[in-house]
């Protein structure tokens, strides 16, 4: 899928015998390509092991390569090991407490939402600064660590700047290549917006961030009705209706931060969306100016 596999550092090449050292405890999560296990290791302690099914094995080196590129950053999980056997491929990493979807289902306070938002934006700022775009940001792919820090855990759909060439853009625009789960997919993936060129880049992640931010505040998806079986025009209409709901949501907060984040991320024209680093700058300057308040209803 990407050329990142070739950039895997030698320290992350498949180890020879690690599988026998990891004792599986229980399955803690499942996605499109993999199951995630809680496991123990004599040296690393309790860890998460992502087991890619045989048919998705080719995803593992890509994800490994991407995860190794973000090591050392606090908003990504620590990487421990990688190995392969006849059943599939495995990545051992830092065990997280749970995913953002469960946090949203249990209702988050405004303080928790803002904390999570800053963590997600810091992760995006770092990814974008090293020329990567995530392209599948959603609550299932973000976890909270035992240290209380939110981290992006699933890097399987990310692309490098070099990969985002003309044929990549054409494939998305012609519907040959789908990026980002449909409810978090930006308008430019469906239609041309106000003459704005349909380029797919880091602004895709910013739109997805806006969708997640709304979901953390409200407990429900903003673009729930968008669907892969709908036409582009139908999805655009869903987006327009969702944006009206977002406008009324903005008014519920006395604090200017939710308003600022919503109106600068959920912008139809991708070139008018703020970057992750600008969103962080505005967030921090507003948080020193005014304390956070709870919604009025
Ligand atoms: N390091 C981790 N610690 C704890 N749970 C995790 C970890 N990584 C992923 N999970 C859980 O497992 C689920 C599936 O993992 P994910 O990497 O998203 O797989 P896929 O690539 O198949 O979507 C996630 O939605 C999350 O709930
Ligand atoms: Mg996932």
Q: Comparing C-alpha atoms, which of 158, 3, 19, 33 is closest to residue 82? A: 19
Ligand 1 near 158 CB (within 6 A): no
Atom of ligand 1 lying closest to residue 97 CA: 4
Q: Tell me if 3 is assigned to some domain.
A: no
Domain assignment of residue 32, given as a range = 8-94
Q: Tell me if 41 is assigned to some domain.
A: yes
Ligand 2 midpoint to CA 248 (Å): 31
Ligand 1 near 36 CB (within 6 A): yes
The SS3 of residue 127 is helix
Query: What ranges in the chain are assigned the alpha helix state H?
Result: 59-69, 100-105, 110-129, 166-173, 202-218, 232-250, 256-265, 276-289
Domain boundary among 40, 64, 94: 94
What the block records as the tokens of 221 is: 């998806």
Is 147 among the residues known to form the active site? no
What's the pLDDT at 93? 97
Atom of ligand 1 lying closest to residue 35 CA: 14
What's the pLDDT at 13? 52
What pLDDT band is residue 9 in, cutting at 50, 70 and 90? Answer: very low
Ligand 2 midpoint to CA 139 (Å): 9
Q: Tell me if 287 is assigned to some domain.
A: yes
Q: Tell me if 1 is assigned to some domain.
A: no
* Ligand nearest the Cα atom of residue 93: 1
What pLDDT band is residue 5 in, cutting at 50, 70 and 90? Answer: very low
Ligand 1 near 138 CB (within 6 A): no
Domain boundary among 44, 63, 94: 94
Report whether 35 contacts 27 (CB < 8 A).
Answer: yes
Query: What ranges in 157-254 are assigned the alpha helix state H?
Result: 166-173, 202-218, 232-250
What pLDDT band is residue 20 in, cutting at 50, 70 and 90? Answer: confident
Q: Decide if pLDDT at 2 tops 60.
A: no
Dist. CA 112–CA 6, nearest whole Å: 38
- Lowest mean pLDDT, pick from 13-17, 146-150, 239-243: 13-17
What pLDDT band is residue 196 in, cutting at 50, 70 and 90? Answer: confident
Q: Decide if pLDDT at 10 tops 50.
A: no
What's the pLDDT at 174? 87
Dist. CA 21–CA 28, nearest whole Å: 19
What's the pLDDT at 87? 83
The DSSP bridge partners found for residue 82 are 91
Q: What is the mean pLDDT of the segment spanning 98-111?
A: 96
Q: Decide if pLDDT at 18 tops 80.
A: no
What the block records as the tokens of 194 is: 């106000």
Report whether 134 contacts 209 (CB < 8 A).
Answer: no
What's the pLDDT at 7? 38
Residues 160 and 42 in one domain: no
Ligand 2 midpoint to CA 138 (Å): 8
Which has the higher per-residue pLDDT, 294 or 129?
Answer: 129
What's the pLDDT at 4? 33
Residues 285 and 164 in one domain: yes
Residues 134 and 195 in one domain: yes
Residues of the chain with pLDDT > 70: what percent? 91
Mean pLDDT, all residues of the chain: 90
Q: Tell me if 282 is assigned to some domain.
A: yes
Atom of ligand 1 lying closest to residue 154 CA: 17
* Ligand nearest the Cα atom of residue 34: 1
CATH number of the domain that 222 lies in?
1.10.510.10
Q: What is the mean pLDDT of the segment spanning 12-19?
A: 58
Ligand 1 near 44 CB (within 6 A): no
Write the CB contacts of 270 (distance below 8 Å, at least 6 apart in sequence). Answer: 186, 187, 188, 193, 196, 199, 201, 203, 204, 207
The pocket of ion ligand 2, defined by CB under 5 A, consists of 31, 141, 154
Residues 255 and 115 in one domain: yes
Q: Decide if pLDDT at 11 tops 50.
A: no
What's the pLDDT at 3? 31
What the block records as the tokens of 289 is: 């100016």
Q: What is the pLDDT of residues 36-64, one digit of tens each?
A: 999 999 999 999 999 998 888 888 999 99
Write the CB contacts of 134 (distance below 8 Å, at least 6 apart in sequence). Answer: 124, 127, 141, 152, 155, 157, 158, 205, 208
CATH number of the domain that 19 lies in?
3.30.200.20
> Which one is catalytic: 136, 147, 201, 297?
136
Q: What is the pLDDT of residues 68-102, one digit of tens each?
A: 999 999 999 999 999 988 888 999 999 999 999 99
What pLDDT band is residue 255 in, cutting at 50, 70 and 90? Answer: confident
Q: What is the pLDDT of residues 113-131, one digit of tens each?
A: 999 999 999 999 999 999 9
Q: What is the mean pLDDT of the segment spanning 7-11?
A: 41
Atom of ligand 1 lying closest to residue 153 CA: 8
Q: Tell me if 2 is assigned to some domain.
A: no
In the numeric block, the tokens 């990310």 are attached to 158
What's the pLDDT at 289? 81
Q: Decide if pLDDT at 207 tops 90.
A: yes
């Amino acid at each position: 899928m990407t050329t990142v596999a070739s950039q895997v550092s030698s320290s992350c090449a498949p180890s020879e015998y690690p599988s026998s050292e990891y004792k599986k405890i229980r399955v803690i999560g499942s996605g499109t390509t993999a199951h995630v296990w809680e496991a123990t290791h004599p040296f690393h302690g309790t860890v998460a092991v992502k087991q890619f099914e045989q048919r998705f094995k080719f995803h593992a080196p890509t994800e490994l390569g991407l995860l190794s590129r973000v090591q050392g950053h606090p908003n990504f999980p620590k990487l421990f090991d990688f190995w392969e056997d006849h059943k599939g491929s495995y990545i051992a990493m830092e065990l997280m407490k749970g995913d953002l979807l469960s946090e949203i289902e249990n209702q988050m306070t405004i303080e928790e939402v803002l904390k999570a938002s800053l963590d997600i934006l810091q992760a995006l700022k770092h990814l974008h600064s090293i020329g990567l775009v995530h392209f599948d940001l959603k609550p299932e792919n973000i976890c909270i660590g035992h240290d209380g820090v939110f981290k992006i855990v699933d890097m399987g759909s990310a692309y490098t700047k070099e990969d985002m060439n003309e044929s990549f853009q054409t494939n998305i625009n012609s519907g040959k290549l789908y990026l980002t789960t449909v409810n978090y997919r930006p308008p430019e993936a469906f239609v041309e917006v106000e003459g704005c060129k349909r380029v797919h880049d880091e602004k895709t992640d910013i739109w997805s961030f806006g969708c997640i931010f709304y979901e953390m505040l409200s407990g429900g998806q903003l673009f729930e009705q968008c669907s892969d079986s709908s036409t582009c025009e139908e999805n655009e209409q869903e987006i327009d209706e969702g944006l009206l709901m977002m406008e009324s949501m903005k008014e519920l907060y006395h604090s200017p931060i939710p308003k600022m984040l919503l109106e600068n991320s959920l912008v139809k024209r991708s070139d008018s969306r703020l970057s992750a680093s600008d969103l962080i700058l505005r967030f921090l300057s507003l948080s020193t100016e005014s304390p956070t308040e709870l919604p009025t209803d």
